[in-house]
Amino acid sequence: MEQAMFAGGCFWCMVTPFEELPGIQGIESGYAGGTVENPTYEQVKTGTTGHYEVVQITFDPDVFPYERLLELFWPQIDPTDDGGQFQDRGPQYRTAVFYYNEAQREAALASKERVAASGRFAGPVVTEILPAPVFYRAEEYHQDYHKKNPKHYKEDREQSGRDEFISKHW
């Protein structure tokens, strides 16, 4: 098993594209990249801790290659927005691909180059490719939020503008 970590804005919206696929063993919502150990949602949402909202995915690379995870990641985000994602603004909602080894780093850089060269976007692709920092699992109520709170999740997602952007650009 290997791990992958992606920041794509609100972590609630970054679970569903990866779940229930062959070779995906688990997806956890959490925080990474900040200066506070064991941060809480209340701390991270202030935008002052330096953390990203992330998903950490445990996967079997023989069944579901890392490159396929990257192919699923990019169409979930606006890679040209460095101020957050859609209605979620602030540094905690920045986008990034965090890599755990050199092969992941190389694959992530190559995929970013392909997205940048695709001509889909007017602006530059600003999503960073960074070494994986410590992952802090988010509070239990954030795990599988879309299943626990389907009505609120659906309303939040509809209001966010994410789906319109995805439809237009991908």
Output the CA torsion sign for 45, 34, 112, 20: negative
pLDDT (0 to 100) of residue 26: 97
Amino acid at 96: A
**CB-CB contact of 100 with 9 (8 Å):** no
Residue 13 appears among annotated catalytic residues = no
pLDDT at 170: 87
State residue 127's pLDDT score: 98
Tens-of-pLDDT digits for all 170 residues of the chain?
999 999 999 999 999 999 989 999 999 999 999 999 999 999 999 999 999 999 999 999 999 999 999 999 999 999 999 999 999 999 999 999 999 999 999 999 999 999 999 999 999 999 999 999 999 999 999 999 999 999 999 999 999 999 999 999 98
CA distance 145 to 151: 10
| Tens digit of each residue's pLDDT (9 = 90 or more) over 91-118 | 999 999 999 999 999 999 999 999 999 9
Catalytic entry in 10, 14, 69, 77: 10
DSSP string, 55-87: EEEEE-TTTS-HHHHHHHHGGGS-TT-SSEETT
Q: Are 58 and 6 in contact (CB under 8 A)?
A: no
Q: Where are the domains of the chain?
A: 2-169
> What residue spans of the chain are helical by DSSP H?
41-44, 66-73, 102-117, 145-148, 150-160, 162-169
- Please state which CATH class domain 2-169 belongs to: alpha beta
Angle formed by the axes of helices 66-73 and 102-117, nearest 10°:
40
- Mean pLDDT, the chain, as a whole number? 96
Q: Supply the pLDDT for residue 84.
A: 96
45: which 2 tokens? Answer: 């949402």
